[in-house]
């Protein structure tokens, strides 16, 4: 059965946090402030929305109130390092976002207790985070929706063998060779850091952000408006309380250097571990995470026996904001199917 999504007013951008929660579950940094949006009846089915790289919970501005209006308790979270959440200077590992979301579901959404589970939807790295969350914490997740989810797939056998041989050769290096390689790595890291710092300066300029957004909103570029640009620009500045003074470029470098190639666990491995239904809600015109990668994820899920469904949307990398009507309908249909399948 198809569920109609009633029109609702979108969220409005503000520099002040909406709601805050403290995340203490990461050993490298305790007491992290996490911003989130919430709407809908308190006791209703939880719906967690996870944004992508460089964005924030505000990127779900055209979805939160629609899903809440359909009777769900909706949370749109700012991942640590993004939006109005804390930006500690740590070595960012994709697991921090997985564990952040797990702790949030337990402590804020009340999941895990009495069998209460959330429907989790993520875009880009948020899609990867949603998969990782479902794979590691099946007690918290009723269903997973990946909207153009990022991440790498396992290499083919011949490539894996080549990488294994290279790793074995590195392990047998002489002390001199190790020292030379360490020096090269230091120089390369320094250059990467310099490039990242310069890249942040360039990419946080409003006109450049709008230009990039309109490239990845290929069907309806007008949806990438000034309010969205401002929600990206402000957290990239040295906003009070978000990061140590002057350290935003270092935070940016650490996030990019550790996560540009996808998380530590391949997407296909995460999919194979899922014990709940998976929705692949794909903006088929995405120039970054292309349609063929959605096909690959779908084939993997089918081969692993995961209950998977695919919904194609005429949009690019961020379909939830470029084509919110189609995405809201897809998410509500998925939620209704989960309910009919015996969801609590």
Q: Please name the residues in contact with 59: beta carbons below 8 A apart, sequence gap of 6 or more.
A: 51, 52, 76, 123, 228, 231, 318, 320, 321
Tokens in use for 295?
Answer: 């096909």
Tokens 């939830």 — which residue? 320
Q: What is the pLDDT along the chain (344 residues), one digit of tens a residue?
A: 566 677 899 999 999 999 999 999 999 999 999 999 999 999 999 999 999 998 999 999 999 999 999 999 999 999 999 999 999 999 898 999 999 999 999 999 999 989 999 999 999 999 999 999 999 999 999 999 999 999 999 998 776 566 566 566 666 656 654 454 444 443 333 344 444 444 434 455 788 888 889 999 999 999 999 999 999 988 887 666 778 777 888 888 888 887 766 788 999 999 999 999 999 999 999 999 999 999 999 999 999 999 999 999 999 999 999 999 999 999 999 999 999 984 43
How many C-beta atoms lie closer than 10 Å to residue 22's C-beta? 13
pLDDT at 193: 44
Q: What is the second-level CATH architecture of the domain 19-152+262-340?
A: 3-Layer(aba) Sandwich (3.40)
Q: Which of 161, 190, 154 is nearest to 263 (CA)?
A: 154
Residue 312 DSSP SS3:
strand
Q: Please name the residues in contact with 143: beta carbons below 8 A apart, sequence gap of 6 or more.
A: 119, 120, 276, 277, 278, 279, 334, 335, 338, 343
The Cα 183–Cα 60 span in angstroms is: 44
Residue 278 DSSP SS3:
strand
Q: Which of 256, 282, 231 is nearest to 121 (CA)?
A: 282
pTM over 0.85: yes
Q: Where do the domains of the chain lie?
A: 19-152+262-340
The Cα 318–Cα 286 span in angstroms is: 8
């Amino acid at each position: 059965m198809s569920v109609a999504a009633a029109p609702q007013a979108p969220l409005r951008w503000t520099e002040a946090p909406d709601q805050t929660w403290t995340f203490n579950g990461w050993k490298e940094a305790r007491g992290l402030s996490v911003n989130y949006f919430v709407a809908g009846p308190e006791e209703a089915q939880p719906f967690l929305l996870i944004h992508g790289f460089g964005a924030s919970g505000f990127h779900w501005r055209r979805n939160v109130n629609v899903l809440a209006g359909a009777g769900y308790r909706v949370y749109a979270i700012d991942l640590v390092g993004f939006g109005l959440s804390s930006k500690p200077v740590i070595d960012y590992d994709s697991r921090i976002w997985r564990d952040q979301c797990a702790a949030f579901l337990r402590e804020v959404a009340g999941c895990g207790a009495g069998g209460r589970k959330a429907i989790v939807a993520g875009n880009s790295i948020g899609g990867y985070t949603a998969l990782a969350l479902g794979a590691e914490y099946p007690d918290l997740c009723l269903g997973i929706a990946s909207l153009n989810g990022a991440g790498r797939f396992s290499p083919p056998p011949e490539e894996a063998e080549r990488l294994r041989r290279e790793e074995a050769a590195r392990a047998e290096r002489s002390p001199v060779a190790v020292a030379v390689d360490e020096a090269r790595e230091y120089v390369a890291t320094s250059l990467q850091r310099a490039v990242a710092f310069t890249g942040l300066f360039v990419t946080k300029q409003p006109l450049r952000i709008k230009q990039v957004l309109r490239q990845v909103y290929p069907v309806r570029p007008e949806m990438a408006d000034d309010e969205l640009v401002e929600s990206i620009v402000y957290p990239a500045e040295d906003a009070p309380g978000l990061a140590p003074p002057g350290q935003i470029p270092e935070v940016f470098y650490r996030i990019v250097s550790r996560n540009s190639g996808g998380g530590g666990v391949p997407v296909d491995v995460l999919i194979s571990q899922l014990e709940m239904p998976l929705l692949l809600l794909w903006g088929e015109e995405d120039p970054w995470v292309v349609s063929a990668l959605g096909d690959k994820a779908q084939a993997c899920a089918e081969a692993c026996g995961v209950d998977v469904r695919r919904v194609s949307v005429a949009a690019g990398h961020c379909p939830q904001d470029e084509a919110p009507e189609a995405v809201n309908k897809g998410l509500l249909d998925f939620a209704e199917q989960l309910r009919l399948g015996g969801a609590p």
